[in-house]
Structure formats: structure tokens, C-alpha cells
Homo-oligomer: A and B are copies of this chain.
């Protein structure tokens, strides 16, 4: 993949690990105190607390800090968005959907437990994401605003799954427009929602929210272009999930529509756009720059 420009620095791994531990502990504690059947709780833990990059919660926390807040203010939406993400992976992996056996190097949840449990654990993860917001954010105004973002981005993501797997488009929509429509919904919506929820918790004014919104849109699309590229350039073993799947399923992807070199150019363009958006925000947004660069150059 592309190399980061010399003037940008990738996130420090120890800092990232500390954030991941904080978010995981928050989710774990929430699940511990919530009355649930034990087998459901275990299935939810398996799905939400297994290995993973925790990109979305990290974006929430750093977006909050970038607009002047503290990370602690954004822990509930950070946990919530990871739960929504985990739900989407669990349902996406089901036999009737992508029928995947492997996720993050481990058996998918329906392989580890069974299909009924995977359906129900996914459902519970979505519902609990809303619950963690409403039980942990005291200010009704902030709570409503964050729930609004969570609902919109979750529903857009589900719509994106439908476009992606069962897509019906107007017959004259060019492949590239279809592709952007799929990606902006399927992956972009939650990444944008992560940024916006974080900024809400940090008390962003309109100008800062606009900057975060622009950043979130750029990295949201960029993330999926990179994902498409990884699917054709990396091995299953390296990714910890089945590689080459998109081509096997004849999916619309950036490499298949634009070719590999033009897809790389699109990554560069979106990365520059994300950086420009942050000019508004000053040094507090440096970690978001680092995240953007990491997302551009990641190899898994």
C-alpha cells in the first residue's frame, strides 16, 4: 500500500492498546452488570471483545478530544459503536449472508456457537448499543443527539448491506456510482457516525462539527477502498478472514471497477481530503491525522 507522507506520524501502538483496553473494559463491565442469560452474555463477549482493531471506538474518542473534550466523555458511544459493528459482523457472517467460517482469525460466532445464537446475539448487540447510551449519558439533550447519530448510522449501514448483497439500483446508475453508494452506506456510515458522536460528546460547535463531518466522510469511504484493495492483495492467513472473496462473489469493488492503480489514487485523494478537513481543528486533531494515515497504509 501507500507509504505515509514524511510529515505525518502513525499512532503509537502503546497508546492505541491502552485505548482498546479502556473500551473493552467498559463494554465488559456493562455486560457484567446487565441481566442476561449466561450463554447469551458469553456469545456477546465472544463477538464484541475478541481480537480487532477497535477503529470505530478509537475514532469516537479522538474525535471528542479533537474538538476540545476528554476521552472519558465519549466512552459510552465508543462502546456502543463497537457493539453495533460487532452485531453487523455476526449477522454478515451468517450462512444466509456471506457464509464465513473465519473472522479475526477465529471461528465466526455461528460456527463457535450456532446460528440461532448468532442471530440473537447480533440482535442483542444492536439493542444493547442503544441501551448503553441511554443509561450512561446523563444529559437528555446530548443523549438524544447521540442516539440520533447512532440510529442513523446503524440504519444506513444495514441499508448498505442490502445494496451490497441484494442490490437493486436504477438500471442506468454507472458502476462507480453504485459502488460509492454501497461503500458510503455499508462502511462509511458507522465511521462517519463514530466521528460525529465523538464530536457531539466533546461539545463541538457548528464549525468543528463540520470539520469532523468532512473528515469522517473522507476516511469512511477511504477505509472501504483500502479494504477492497486488501482483499485482492493479501492472503487469508495475513488478514485473518477469507481473502479473494470479493472476486469469487463477483462483487462490485474499487479494484474491479477502477483497477488497482486508480484505486490507490483514490485512497491518496481521500486521505488528503481528510487532512484538509482537520486544518480547522489545530493540534488536538493530530491523532485523527495519524489514524487517517494508519487507515490508508494498513495491510490488514
Asked if A116 meets B144 with Cβ closer than 8 Å, knowing A124-B159, A166-B39, A168-B39, the reply is no
Return the CB mask of A155-166 against B: 1 if under 8 Å, else 0: 100110111011
- Cα separation A97 to B39 with both chains bound (whole Å): 16
Give the chain B neighbours of A124 by CB distance below 8 A. 155, 158-159, 162
A123 touches B158 (CB 8 A): yes
Q: A40-B162, A159-B35 are in contact. Are A130 and B147 (CB under 8 A)?
A: yes
Q: Is A13 interfacial (CB 8 A cutoff)? A: no
The secondary-structure label for the interface of chain A is helix
Q: Which of A101-137 contact B (CB under 8 A)?
A: 114-117, 119-120, 122-124, 126-128, 130-131, 134-135
> Contact: A131 with B152, CB < 8 Å?
yes
Within 8 Å of chain B (Cβ to Cβ): is A94? Answer: yes
Q: How far is the CA of A236 from the CA of B36 in the complex (A)?
A: 33
Contacts of A52 in B (CB 8 A): none
Task: Flag whether A91 is at the interface (Cβ < 8 A).
Answer: yes
Asked if A50 lies at the interface with its beta carbon under 8 angstroms from chain B, I say: no
The interface residues of chain B lying within 8 Å CB-to-CB of A87 are 123
